[in-house]
Amino acid sequence: MSVLNILFVGSDEVARSIAKKSDSRDVDNYIYKDLKEDSSFSTISIIRPINYPDKPKPFFASLTVSDFGIIEINKIDAAFGEAIVSMACAGIKDGFVIVNPTEGEWVDDSQVKTLLQQAGLSNWKFIENEGIIIREKLITILNKIKPQDEPGFVVAVDQAFTVKGVGLVAIGHVQSGTLNKHSEVIFAGSEGSAVARSLQVMDLDVDVANVGDRVGLALRTGGSFRDDLLGRGSILADTTDRFEIQKKSNFKIEKAAFQKHDLIDGDVIHLCADFQFIVGRVVNVGNVIDVEWDSPIVINKSSKRNPLIVQLEANPRIMGFAKFK
């Protein structure tokens, strides 16, 4: 079973024309299952941040679990510029643009194409605002995804809670590798381990969760596993070799397109990676940037997504992505 995780910036109406709405919190989720002749299925999973650009955190967090992008353009403005630059910084190299001007607005396709190229999204393609056509194109892309046979696993946790009669449950995205039922699970920042008693993907009990899956894990904990600390931004892995925990960091920054501001001593920034959104303060700027974080960050060594550096007072708010030393 393959899955294509798509970050969608646009209206609920357009998203619903592509896939069925499943749940909603700080993001809306839409699912389409492409059934195969052998009764298996592949999945289109659309993530739509609610109230972006007014509430940026869900948007930036969604970037860290997305493989493909779709932007509905009602007008060319600062929000559109920030969205495409952020997609480029996150490494989302492929996507669709839907030109759908609001009443009284006019969108110049050639200007959009130029901005996409300047942002670093030259592979993105225009597509008409027709849900069936968009879905068919996405299924074609989905069918080209080949299963990856990577040893071990890393799961970025979105939420965690206790269910009566079940125990501790964590829901997150498999960022790399393959998670098996009964696997031992290490919680980054906790000295103990747990066991994945059961797994669910798309509300179905499964024995295996693959990269890209949004998975629910029922965990059997014990020892010094800090289940009270488990929550959004936590990292679960098969071994401590998959991650590194840092209270202080130094990194070089790959600056975002159109970003004119340079970080200086004393600046407050956020790291956005694997659902983490952690505040830090720049303490020194030289050949590298030194930062002290308010709480320890977890660096996922096997991540294929860029760790984003965000400054909420800047315009655009995306500063670029970090290359950790």
How does pLDDT run along the chain (325 residues), one tens digit per residue? 689 999 999 999 999 999 999 988 889 999 999 887 776 788 999 999 999 999 999 999 999 999 999 999 999 999 999 999 999 999 999 999 999 998 888 999 999 999 999 999 999 999 999 999 999 999 999 988 876 777 899 999 999 999 988 889 999 999 999 999 999 999 998 767 899 999 999 889 999 999 999 999 999 987 678 888 899 999 999 999 999 999 999 999 999 999 999 999 999 999 999 999 999 999 999 999 999 999 999 999 888 889 999 999 898 999 999 999 7
Which pLDDT belongs to residue 1?
66
Angle between helices 78-90 and 109-119 (to 10 degrees): 40
Q: Is the dihedral of CA 287, 288, 289, 290 positive or negative?
A: negative
Q: What fold is seen in the domain 153-238?
A: Elongation Factor Tu (Ef-tu); domain 3 (2.40.30)
Which pLDDT belongs to residue 260?
92
- Cα 203 to Cα 192, 206, 274: the distances in Å are 28, 9, 22
Buried b (16+ CB within 10 A) or exposed e, 182-193: ebebbbbebeeb
Q: Which residues contact 272 (CB under 8 A, 6 or more apart)?
A: 60, 61, 63, 64, 307, 308, 309, 310
Residue range 3-143 forms a domain whose CATH class is alpha beta
Residue whose structure tokens are 């970090």: 322
Biggest CA–CA distance in the chain, Å, is 63
Which pLDDT belongs to residue 198?
96
Which pLDDT belongs to residue 23?
85
**Three-state SS for 214?**
strand
The strand order across the sheet containing 95-99 reads: 20-24, 27-35, 41-49, 3-9, 68-73, 95-99, 125-126
DSSP states of 237-276 as a string? Answer: ESSGGGEEEEEEEEEEEEEPTT------TT-EEEEEETTE
141: DSSP letter? H
CATH 3.40.50.300 intervals, the chain: 3-143
Task: List residues bridging with 178 in a β-sheet.
Answer: 210
150: DSSP letter? -
Which pLDDT belongs to residue 103?
85
Is the Cβ–Cβ distance between 310 and 253 less than 8 Å?
A: no
Distance separating alpha carbons of residues 46 and 28, to the nearest angstrom: 8
Where are the strands (E) in 100-242, listed by range? 125-126, 153-163, 167-180, 184-187, 193-201, 204-206, 208-210, 214-221, 235-237
> Which residue, 317, 296, 4, is CA-closest to 139?
4
Distance separating alpha carbons of residues 43 and 237, to the nearest angstrom: 24
Which pLDDT belongs to residue 208?
93
Q: Residues 243-324: name the CATH superfamily.
A: Translation factors (2.40.30.10)
DSSP-derived pairing of the beta strands 68-73 and 95-99: parallel
**Three-state SS for 189?**
coil
Is the Cβ–Cβ distance between 175 and 65 less than 8 Å?
A: yes
CATH 2.40.30.10 intervals, the chain: 153-238, 243-324
Task: List residues bridging with 201 in a β-sheet.
Answer: 204, 215
Element (H, E) at 98: strand 95-99
Distance separating alpha carbons of residues 62 and 60, to the nearest angstrom: 5
Distance separating alpha carbons of residues 56 and 50, to the nearest angstrom: 9
